[in-house]
Amino acid sequence: MKIASLYRPKDVEDALKVSRESTDTVVFGGGAWLKLSPRLVKRAVLLDDMDLATIETSDDAIRVGAMCTLRMVETHDAIAAIGSGIIVQALRQVMGVGLRNIATVGGSVMGKYGFSDVLPPLLALDAKLMFADAGEVSLASFMASKKRMNDIMLYVTIPRTKSVGFFKKVSTTPLDFSLLNITVCKTRDRVRVVLGSRPGGAMHQDVTSRLDLNTIPDEKTLDDVVREVLDAIPLGQNVRASKLYREQLAKTYVRRGVKEVMSREG
Amino acid sequence: MKVNLTINKRPRTIDAEPGDYLLDTLRRHNFLSVKRGCDAASCGVCTVLIDGKPTLSCSVLTARLENKEITTVEGERDEIEKFYAHFGDEGADQCGFCNPGLALTVISLKRTIQNPSDDDIREYIVANLCRCSGYVAQVRAIRRYLEETS
Amino acid sequence: MKTVNQKHQSVDGKGIMLGRPAYTDDLADPSSLIIKVLRSPHAFARIKSIDTKKAEKLPGVELVLTHHDVPRVSFTRAGQGYPEPSPHDKFVLDEYVRYVGDEVAVVAAIDESVAEAALDLIDVDYEVIDPVLDFEEAIDHQSVVHPEEGIHEMFPIGFEPKRNIAASYAMDFGDLDNAFKASDVVVEETFHTQAQAHVMMEPHAVNARLDFQDRLLIISATQTPFHVRRILSQTLDIPIEKIRVIKPRVGGGFGGKQALHGEMFAALVTMKTGKPSKLVYTRQEVFESTYTRHPMTLKVKLGATKDGRLNVIDWHVLSNTGAYGEHALTVFMVAGSKVMPLYNKVDAGRFHGEVVYTNTTPAGAYRGYGAIQGNFALESAIDMLCVKLGMDPIAFRQKNMMREGETSPIFEIMGEGTAGTAMTMETCKLDYCLTRGLELIDWNNKYPRTTTEDGKIRSVGMALAMQGSGIPYIDMGAATIKLNDAGFYNLTVGATEIGQGSDTVLSQIAAEALGVPLNKVIVYSSDTDLTPFDTGAYASSTTYVSGNAVYKAAMKMREMLLDEAAVVFGVEGDDIDFDGATFKNKADGKTISLEQLANRITYNEDQKQLTATSSYVGTKSPPPFMAGFIDIAVDKDTGEIDILDYVSVVDCGVPINPKLAQGQVEGGIVQGLGMACFEEVKRGKNGALISHDLLNYKIPTNVDIKKLTTEFAESHEASGPFGAKSVGEIGIDTPPAALANALYNALGIRLTSLPFTAEKIIRALHDKEGEKTT
Ligand SMILES: Cc1cc2nc3c(=O)[nH]c(=O)nc-3n(C[C@H](O)[C@H](O)[C@H](O)COP(=O)(O)OP(=O)(O)OC[C@H]3O[C@@H](n4cnc5c(N)ncnc54)[C@H](O)[C@@H]3O)c2cc1C
Ligand code: FES
Ligand code: FES
């Protein structure tokens, strides 16, 4: 990465305007991922002075600024309390503290990385994104859309719904990308399964209709749930794993995950 | 551009290009303890403390560090000596290239996590790769250091 | 013993952790020109034309070099003995490029960004050639990797470049046919080992400058400074006395720095421009353009009688040396020579095969070279044989393995590139290692498998291993000890500390022999101007070979001191007691301290400088032995493995520094586990590396290695310094076979192709279940 100049917008309008000036202008989160790209950046737009590195808690939601580092998020008590701590569990498996003190929530969302461990738990919890121009967009529709958003993300809102969760990252070493990650989350009225690093971007499937939310499912029910997830979410292959192996992982961990969340009080 | 920051408690005004990363800046200013192993946020040998937090200096722009406090092992001599007493005893050092980055991460661990388990320790230093040591001697040394100094 | 076999911190670890400048890039001249290398995007191509004019015109560019600008002298980058067993098949720059990452042109500029910009301005017109990427297809492939003139072998190694054969070899003993006929049970299996990357944390680095005597000074992260000096001189036609090579602190090597990398370019740039220059490899260059472990295909056939006697070992090995033949033959031979003697009671044996060229990143020296590949194949095959025999694999090994006082015909037949040296095992505690290891891993309660509380399958597996201690009659180490006023010593050695702790270990040997505390010996390695010769850090030679040289030098120094004390007392040396600190006249009890004596001969009377230099060449290579045991839990639904423990019981003679020796073993074990479990150099269809960074090439982390149990057998090798043998490589050998055997014990699957990823395990399990149901 070569950077010719830096720009620090003072407010959202300024940031939006500058960032849309040309394709050589790039909005920076922590810049850790951008550093790996060989591109030439004429103007790096730094959101450092825009008050986006705060976490605000209200009764029904937590608002995480785009410039919060992953480490800030994983060490936040209220966030750790959501969904049996699946967000924290997932973040703690992204490289080491040295990276997580740099990498931001904004960069992790806007990159929409197929390998992401950050997006699946947020998707499982029905998080919403706030953009400078587009306003509020649900993470689910953001993930489903193929369009590149030429916008600035301001914060992500995570509902504080009572929930139990399960997160599993399968990887060669803790520093590798996921071969597959599996998130399961149960709320009062919904059970959702998310598969990430398929190797494409995370996708979700609600399997509520197959389950009785007050009983632990039997093996037959679990078979049905697994089948529904595999039918709904396509898995593929890349250098890290074959389609067949990903399916094997999904079968195993969706089953384990659903069983686990269903056997816990939420 | 000029950046005002503190390196090892000494305030400095440093000249930096917009695209300079902290690792290059530090090495250029003779803080040679900070090593480059991958230049891609993947090895941990470039770790320094920024406001006390372990951070990969290869991936942070110097220009963003206005008013920040940077610490390298050169600025933590007392603590390093205490840590090395155990590290050396356990024979955990070999080529040493990973050691400054690891030591700073351990110092930060000590200051942020109370009574960590061995698994907590491993998780905290997981991204400080070491190709020489086999790791277990490191963890033994860290355990002893934490017990002695806390 | 006071210093040897005692716990001692390393002499340099604290300074390193405190960040004192020590490594090549720390010491490089800050005004150095920055060198960047234009590398081939093609696996195989001929450079039709290359235009550097635009690059040369870029402000800040000092020099651009192509194959038109460099001497056309073939050489090998391998730092080995001389003449080398590696073919001279490399040119500084060539009109052919033979792998993605091969060197096309070299730029020197005032800074990195100018140098990089200049690379983009070089126009190269390539004639792309169909590459040889599959090494099984290399022999007599229509493309010839080395079609050029002017390449040659230094002595017969079976070099047939027109057939893509870098080296070949065959040996046998006994009557093979009869031995198989006499066998009730025969197993035959083909094993595959992958390319592994060294991933030393410090990338290759070199700094060159001309000093005030107008000599070429090279500071290089190398394992072999003396070979660097010789090869630079021979290839660039610089008088050897005009070159000085300093090896500063090196951030890991594992064999990857046992060859020249940037040295040629830095030397040329500095000679041509008169300016200091520096080349530090990027991580991608380390992966793409240095070396890997030699991938091999090993076909093994064993025969045994019903009662469990191993009659015969027969194997054919095909090894891939990549684009250039560094260490081609020697690595290949070690696959047999440091493995077959483990089972020394066979009636017959054969080891033969070829090392082939392909258009891939060259293979080179890598810790445990050859031995880990051979060990994986043989120790897996032995367990397979036991299954077929219905015999316990431990009992089988106890019956057939090498024992103290025994020998093997292999030692005499196979050396490294040449014939070997006969020897009997003065020390071989393999039996103890095996028995003790069984206890430590709790084999009887875990073999072959149990189930864990969370439903995983827990199992154990094991393998035996041996190595060598230097190469007899080839590896030479030398040491000089100098007495200083106040009675402390300087120890200078050519032996290259690369992180393995040799400076500390050699100081301990000197301190013990001289009878002084460790802090009275100040060690320095290595500098071709200032330190005596040493072949370098490889072949597990340093403690044994260089250690013996240090011991001899220390004993010589003691003699010199006694002579001086005799002058003081007016007696003969024999009439004096000397404990390292004080000389005592036996007759009258009068004493003089070392400090007084040193001051006297420095400043007052009979003034002189005392230095003692000695050297050592091994006449044998006493092997260290070990038994390695792995304890794993496997998730049979996903193939994921937890490594619960790895037990190593090692006979390395007397460990000079037990903690550092343990570090050597454990570091080796973890590298071996990486190779066993997941490490693999991966290539795309066009031959370019996919695993060219640490995102795509994974090495074990702290979290993967929860427990290692390491012990040493009591053992004293009379020919070694204070009873020591080597310990640098032995640790790496056993993990692949031990894990393969554990997976068989756990799941009944026999994996023959490294690495054993979770996905491979699942595939093998499914295949097995498929067999059952069809
Ligand atoms: C070596 C390495 C290993 C990694 N391993 C993992 C892993 O295992 N699992 C995992 O989940 N993640 C992993 N990551 C990704 C990491 O978690 C972050 O997601 C990533 O670094 C991006 O965060 P950043 O702050 O560095 O973003 P940047 O690099 O700054 O930006 C990334 C992208 O987001 C855009 N962007 C940033 N902020 C905004 C904003 N506010 N508005 C609009 N656009 C914005 C940028 O323009 C850019 O396109 C890894 C990253 C690295 C460098
Ligand atoms: S240099 Fe490897 S993480 Fe920074
Ligand atoms: S000691 Fe060499 S990399 Fe850690």
Question: What confidence category does residue C277 fall into, taking pLDDT thresholds of 50, 70 and 90?
Answer: very high
Going by pLDDT thresholds of 50, 70 and 90, the confidence category of residue C773 is low
The closest alpha carbon to C249, from C269, C274, C220, C277, belongs to C220
How many angstroms separate the CA of residue A252 from the nearest CA in chain C? 6
> Are B62 and B85 in a shared domain?
no
Structure token digits, residue B143: 């355990």
Instruction: Indicate if the pLDDT at residue C688 is higher than 80.
Output: yes
User: What pLDDT is attached to residue C131?
Assistant: 98
Which domain-ending residue is among C581, C599, C617?
C617
Partners of B60 on chain A (C-beta within 8 Å) are: 30-31, 102
Cα distance from A23 to chain B (closest Cα, Å)? 18
At residue B150 the predicted structure's pLDDT band, cuts being 50, 70 and 90, is: confident
Interatomic CA distance for residues C273 and C64, integer angstroms: 11
DSSP 3-state assignment of C222? coil
- What mean pLDDT, rounded, does chain C reach? 97
On whether both B133 and B112 belong to a single domain, the answer is yes
B66 and B15 housed in the same domain = yes
- Determine the distance from the C-alpha atom of residue C138 to the mean position of all C-alpha atoms in its chain, rounded to a whole number: 26
What is the domain extent for residue B43?
A: 2-74
Tell me: pLDDT of C774 over 70.
no
Give the pLDDT of residue C541: 82
Length of chain B: 150
| CA distance linking residue B131 with residue B122, whole number of Å | 15
pLDDT band per the 50, 70, 90 thresholds, residue C631: very high
Architecture of the CATH domain A55-159: 2-Layer Sandwich (3.30)
Give the DSSP letter of residue A40.
E
Confidence class of residue A39 from pLDDT cuts 50, 70 and 90?
Answer: confident
Quickly count: other Cβ atoms within 10 Å of residue C79's Cβ.
Answer: 30
User: Is the torsion defined by CA of C577, C579, C580, C583 positive or negative?
Assistant: negative
**Does residue C507 have a pLDDT over 60?**
yes
Q: Where are the domains of chain A?
A: 2-46, 55-159, 164-262
Could you give the maximum distance between any two Cα atoms of chain B, in Å? 46
Q: Is the CB of B97 under 6 A from ligand 2?
A: no
> How much is the pLDDT for C432?
98
Mark whether B33 and B83 lie in a shared domain. no
Q: Distance between alpha carbon A169 and the CA centroid of its chain, in Å?
A: 13
Number of domains chain C is built from: 3
Rounded Cα distance, B73 and B78, in Å: 10
Render chain B in DSSP notation, one character per residue: -EEEEEETTEEEEEE--TT-BHHHHHHHTT-TTS--S-SSSSS-TTEEEETTEEEEGGGSBGGG-TT-EEE-GGG-HHHHHHHHHHHHHTT--SS-TTHHHHHHHHHHHHHH-SS--HHHHHHHTTTS--SSS-SHHHHHHHHHHHHHH-
List, for residues B4-15, the tens digit of each pLDDT value.
999 999 999 999
* Domain boundary pick from B12, B42, B74: B74
CATH number at residue C45: 3.90.1170.50
What DSSP string describes C483-528?
E-GGG-EEEEESS--SSSSHHHHHHHHHHHHHT--GGGEEEE--BT
Residues C315 and C383 in one domain: yes
pLDDT at C151: 98
Q: Closest by alpha carbon to C633, among C760, C459, C448, C442?
A: C459
Query: Into which CATH architecture does domain A164-262 fall?
Result: 2-Layer Sandwich (3.30)
In chain B, positions 81-140, which contact chain C (CB-CB < 8 Å)? 81, 83-84, 87-100, 103, 118, 122-123, 125-139
Are B18 and B63 contained in the same domain? Answer: yes
Residues B31 and B63 in one domain: yes
Return the residue in A93, A113, A172 with the most chain C beta carbons within 10 A, the one to mutate for interface testing: A172
Report the alpha-carbon distance of residue C245 to residue C346 in Å, rounded.
47
Give the integer Cα–Cα distance in Å for C384 and C435: 21
Is position C169 within any domain?
Answer: no
Q: How confident is the model at residue C418 (pLDDT cuts 50, 70, 90)?
A: confident
Indicate if B80 and B145 belong to the same structural domain.
yes
Strands of the sheet with B69-71, listed across from one edge: B10-15, B2-7, B69-71, B47-50, B53-56
Answer yes or no: are the C-beta atoms of C3 and C517 closer than 8 Å: yes
Question: Which pLDDT tens digit goes with each residue over C58-101?
Answer: 999 999 999 999 999 999 999 988 999 999 999 999 999 999 99
In this complex, the residue of B118, B125, B137 whose CB is nearest that of residue C663 is B137
User: First-to-last CA distance in chain B?
Assistant: 42
Asked if residue A165 has pLDDT above 60, the reply is yes
C530 and C461 both lie in a single domain: no
The arithmetic mean of pLDDT across residues B111-116, rounded, is 95
For residue C522, count other CB atoms closer than 10 A to its CB.
15
Shared-domain flag, residues C352 and C482: no
DSSP line for C398-461? HHHS--TT-B-HHHHH--SSS-----B-S---HHHHHHHHHHHHTHHHHSSEEE-TTS-EEEEE
Q: Say whether both C525 and C399 belong to one domain.
A: no
Which chains border C (3 or more CB–CB pairs < 8 Å)?
A, B
Residues C703, B39: C-beta atoms closer than 8 Å: no
**For C42, left (φ over 0), alpha (ψ -120 to 50), or beta?**
beta
Cβ of A217 less than 6 Å from ligand 1: no
Lowest-pLDDT range, A35-44, C99-108, C213-222, C239-248? A35-44
Give this complex's ipTM: 0.98
The partner residue sitting opposite A242, judged by closest CB among C640, C690, C759, is: C759
Query: Phi and psi of B27, rounded to 5°?
Result: -65, -40
Closest residue by Cα to atom 27, ligand 1, is: A107
Determine the angle formed by the axes of helices A243-262 and A219-232, rounding to 10 degrees.
Answer: 130
Q: Which domain holds residue C732?
A: 296-471+620-773
C772, pLDDT greater than 70: no
Omega prior to C622 cis, within 30 of 0: no
Residue A118 has pLDDT above 90, yes or no: yes
The CATH code of the domain that includes C595 is: 3.30.365.10
Contact partners of B by the rule of 3+ C-beta pairs under 8 A? Answer: A, C
For residue range C285-344, list pLDDT tens digits in order.
999 999 999 999 999 999 999 999 999 999 999 999 999 999 999 999 999 999 999 999
Instruction: Please indicate, yes or no, whether residues C555 and C649 belong to a single structural domain of this protein.
Output: no
The three-state (H, E, C) secondary structure of C291-342, written as one string: CECCCEEEEEEEEECCCCCEEEEEEEEEEEEECCCCCHHHHHHHHHHCCHHH
Chain A residue with the nearest C-alpha to that of B126: A96
**C450 and C314 in one domain?**
yes
CA nearest ligand 3 atom 2, residue: B95
pLDDT, average across residues A214-220: 93
* Final residue in a domain of this structure, among B31, B48, B74: B74
C714-749: pLDDT as tens digits = 999 999 999 999 999 999 999 999 999 999 999 999
DSSP structural state of residue A196: E
Q: Could you give the CA distance from residue C97 to residue C46 in angstroms, rounded to a whole number? A: 6
Tens of pLDDT, residue by residue over C237-256, are 999 999 999 999 999 999 99
Same domain, residue pair C501 and C602: yes
Which residue in this structure is represented by tokens 């991580």?
C283
pLDDT on residue A148: 86
Q: Are residues C315 and C457 in the same domain?
A: yes
**Distance (Å, whole) CA C360 – CA C295:** 11
**Which residues on adjacent β-strands are paired with residue C611?**
C482
User: Is ligand 2 within 6 A of the CB of residue B136?
Assistant: no
The set of residues, in sequence order, having a beta carbon less than 8 Å from that of C734 and lying 6+ positions away, is: C375, C379, C462, C463, C464, C465, C626, C627, C628, C648, C669, C672
Give the residue numbers in C contacting A (CB under 8 Å), as ranges.
113, 635, 637-638, 640, 677-678, 682, 690, 694-696, 698-701, 703-704, 757-759, 762-763
Let me know whether C656 and C761 are in one domain: yes
Residue C747 lies in a domain: yes
What does the pLDDT average to over C164-188?
98
What is the Cα–Cα distance from B116 to B124, expressed in whole angstroms?
10
Q: How confident is the model at residue C52 (pLDDT cuts 50, 70, 90)?
A: very high
Residues C483 and C627 in one domain: no
Q: What is the mean pLDDT of chain A?
A: 96
Which secondary-structure segment (H or E) carries C582?
strand C582-585
Give yes or no for residue C695 CB within 6 A of ligand 1: yes
Tell me: pLDDT of A155 over 80.
Answer: yes
Is residue C518 domain-shared with residue C434, that is, in the same domain? no
Structure tokens at C218: 């090279």
**What's the CA angle centered on C245, arms C242 and C250, to 5 degrees?**
170
Asked if B6 and B60 sit in the same domain, the reply is yes
Is position C156 within any domain? no
CA distance B57 to A19: 26
Q: Which of C201, C367, C662 to mutate to test the pocket of ligand 3 (most atoms within 8 A of CB)?
A: C201
Domain count along chain B? 2
In chain A, what residues touch B56 (CB-CB under 8 Å)? 32, 98-99, 102
From the alpha carbon of B59, which atom of ligand 1 is closest? 53
The predicted structure's pLDDT at residue A266 = 61
Domain match, B86 and B136 both: yes
Tell me the CATH number at B120.
Answer: 1.10.150.120
List of E strands, chain A: 2-7, 25-28, 40-46, 55-57, 61-65, 128-131, 135-138, 153-159, 163-170, 180-187, 190-196, 203-206
Shared-domain flag, residues C306 and C382: yes
Is residue C514 a contact partner of residue C558, using CB atoms and an 8 Å limit?
yes
Q: Are residues B108 and B127 in the same domain?
A: yes
Given B33, B52, B74, the domain boundary residue is B74
d(CA C499, CA C27): 17
Share of chain C above pLDDT 90, in %: 96
On whether both B61 and B36 belong to a single domain, the answer is yes
pLDDT at residue A61, as a whole number: 97
- Say what the pLDDT of residue A265 is: 78
A37 touches chain C (CB under 8 A): no
- Residue that finishes a domain, picked among C564, C588, C617: C617
Distances (CA, A) of A162 to A59, A60, A75, A121, A128: 12, 10, 20, 14, 17
Q: Are B44 and B89 part of one and the same domain?
A: no
